[in-house]
Amino acid sequence: MAISELAHPTSNQPLGRETLVEFPDNRLLIDLCGPYDQNLAQIEQALSLQIVRRGNVLSLMGEDEAQEKAERVLNALYVRLEAGKGVEPGDIDAEIRMGGAEVNTGTRDGDQLEMFKAGGVEIKTRKKTIEPRTEAQKAYVQSLFQNELGFGIGPAGTGKTYLAVAVGVNMFLNGDVDKIILSRPAVEAGERLGFLPGDMKDKVDPFMQPLYDALGDFLPGKQLAKLIEDKKIEIAPLAFMRGRTLANAFVVLDEAQNATAMQMKMFLTRLGEGSRMVITGDRTQIDLPRGVPSGLRDAERLLKNIDSIAFNYFTSKDVVRHPLVAKIINAYEKDDPH
CATH code for the domain of 126: 3.40.50.300
Is residue 143 a contact partner of residue 277, using CB atoms and an 8 Å limit?
Answer: no
* 62, 140: one domain: no
- Cα dist from 146 to 39, 110, 111, 116, 309, whole Å: 35, 13, 12, 10, 10
Given the DSSP bridges, would you call strands 149-153 and 276-281 parallel, antiparallel or unpaired? parallel
Per-chain mean pLDDT for the chain: 82
Q: How many domains does the chain have?
A: 2
Angle at 169 between CA 165 and CA 172, to 5 degrees: 135
* 70, 123: one domain: no
pLDDT band at residue 150 using 50, 70 and 90 as cut-offs: very high
Q: The whole model's pTM is what?
A: 0.72
* Least confident range of 113-117, 168-172, 278-282: 113-117
Angle at 198 between CA 217 and CA 221, to 5 degrees: 20
* 199, 288: one domain: yes
> How many CA atoms, within 13 angstroms, populate the side-chain half-sphere of residue 155?
17
- Which H helix or E strand runs over 329? helix 323-335
* 210, 280: one domain: yes
Q: What is the pLDDT of residues 290-324, one digit of tens each?
A: 889 999 999 999 998 998 899 999 988 888 766 67
Give residue 253's domain range: 112-335
* Report for 12-26, 59-73, 215-229: range of highest mean pLDDT: 215-229
The per-residue pLDDT for 147 is 92
116-142 as b/e: b if 16+ CB within 10 A: beeebbbbbbeeeebbbbbebbbbbbb
Is residue 172 a contact partner of residue 249, using CB atoms and an 8 Å limit?
Answer: no
Q: Is the pLDDT of residue 190 over 70?
A: no
- Cα dist from 203 to 178, 198, 232, 286, whole Å: 28, 6, 22, 22
* 49, 189: one domain: no
CA distance 115 to 113: 5
**156 part of a folded domain:** yes
Q: Is the pLDDT of residue 102 over 70?
A: no
* 79, 21: one domain: yes
* 157, 15: one domain: no
Contact residues for 141 (Cβ-Cβ < 8 A; gap 6+): 121, 123, 132, 163, 167
Is residue 66 a contact partner of residue 49, using CB atoms and an 8 Å limit?
Answer: yes
Please name which of 169, 103, 167, 143 lies closest in space to residue 311, comparing C-alpha atoms: 143
* Residue 149: count of CB within 10 angstroms of its CB: 21
Q: What is the pLDDT of residues 252-271, one digit of tens each?
A: 999 999 999 999 999 999 99
* 117, 94: one domain: no
User: How much helix, strand and coil, in percent to the nearest 5, is found in the chain?
Assistant: 45, 15, 35
* 179, 149: one domain: yes
The per-residue pLDDT for 317 is 84
**1 part of a folded domain:** no
* 94, 140: one domain: no
CA distance 226 to 46: 44
The per-residue pLDDT for 144 is 94
Between helix 38-47 and helix 64-82 the angle, nearest 10°, is: 150
The per-residue pLDDT for 196 is 53
- Which H helix or E strand runs over 45? helix 38-47
Q: Is the pLDDT of residue 14 over 50?
A: no
Contact residues for 98 (Cβ-Cβ < 8 A; gap 6+): 132, 133, 134, 135, 138
State the CATH number of the domain containing residue 50.
Answer: 3.30.1370.10
* 90, 126: one domain: no
Sign of CA dihedral 105, 108, 114, 115: positive
308 CB burial (10 A radius; 0-12, 13-18, 19+): exposed
Contact residues for 127 (Cβ-Cβ < 8 A; gap 6+): 217, 218, 219, 220
* 201, 302: one domain: yes
The per-residue pLDDT for 338 is 55
Angle at 267 between CA 116 and CA 288, to 5 degrees: 105
